[in-house]
Amino acid sequence: MTHSVSSPSVLTFGEAMAMFVADTTGTLADIEHFQRRLAGADNNVAIGLARLGFHVSWLSRVGNDGFGQFIRQALEAEGIDGRHIHTDSQHPTGLLFKERASGGADPKVTYFRRGSAASHLSPNDADGVDFEALQHLHATGITPALSDSACQLTRHIMEQARLRGATISFDPNLRPSLWPSETKMRDTLNELASLADWVLPGLSEGQLLTGLKTPYDIAGYYLDRGASAVIIKLGPEGSYYRGTLASHEESFTVEGCHVAEVVDTVGAGDGFAVGVISALLDGCSARQAAQRGNLIGAQAIQVIGDMEGLPHRSRLQALEAEQKL
């Protein structure tokens, strides 16, 4: 394993899975051929930030199997620092199979992740993290849904990063099927969101989590609980920002980017997170952060895989020049 000696300045954590995407449209029962790719919300964000030149580490557990090795190699090829990827010889790497949807519909996904190596993540897995060197932490609501111990790890990492003064982004990334109840999901994720600086829900996620309807009120809910910025994804309509990043409160909507053909909607929210986080870490304004979130989110939905559309820095600069951002 090769990585630079210096400690990573950005950390993400969670579960990566080997993903098998159907070669053709149709139900999984009828598909014979699949392409193997990488899936996982937090590692999508890790890859997106690494492509933009940040020193990113990703913390997880993978099985002592070929799929775990595939995940390590794929992330290493992207320049991710793998020092916090632990091999669990007792439990397998998670898998998922994804249908090929047509016409921009959400593809159906079948998971084989119960009892996976990553579901056994616990606070001990963060023992080697140099929180003093950390500039930014990105967390999602998927990891705490995997198990009680993974939820404890999420809380522990967020608390440690907060104590050391790192900025923290939180994407609720709702997966209701992984939670025992909707109430448990809401209570846990709202508590974790209160540890974050930048909260990044989708509009329907924000409505479900807060019981409030408008982007303004949903943002207010998280600002009251300690966030400094709430950036809400509005799908094709773009995004809404409300916060106090520039020391005074402002709120605005940024129009979405036109996309000629939607190929695969999965990964759009992760692309959005990459755009917002990278822009804020680059020192851009709140409006530029929302615009870059829209821009990279729009790139993500024009390709088949979850993270194949995430741009490198030179491509991002060209896209921003085109959009006159």
In DSSP terms, which residues pair with 241 in a beta bridge? 231, 252
Give the catalytic positions in this structure: 270
| Rounded distance between C-alpha atoms, residue 23 and residue 101, angstroms | 10
CB-CB contact of 118 with 151 (8 Å): no
What's the Rg (C-alpha) of the chain?
18
Residue 96 one-letter amino acid: L
| Rounded distance between C-alpha atoms, residue 29 and residue 91, angstroms | 27
Which contiguous run of DSSP H or E holds residue 136? strand 136-140
| Rounded distance between C-alpha atoms, residue 258 and residue 28, angstroms | 31
| Rounded distance between C-alpha atoms, residue 205 and residue 200, angstroms | 10
**Nearest CA to 294 among 252, 219, 238, 231?**
238
DSSP 8-state class, residue 259: -
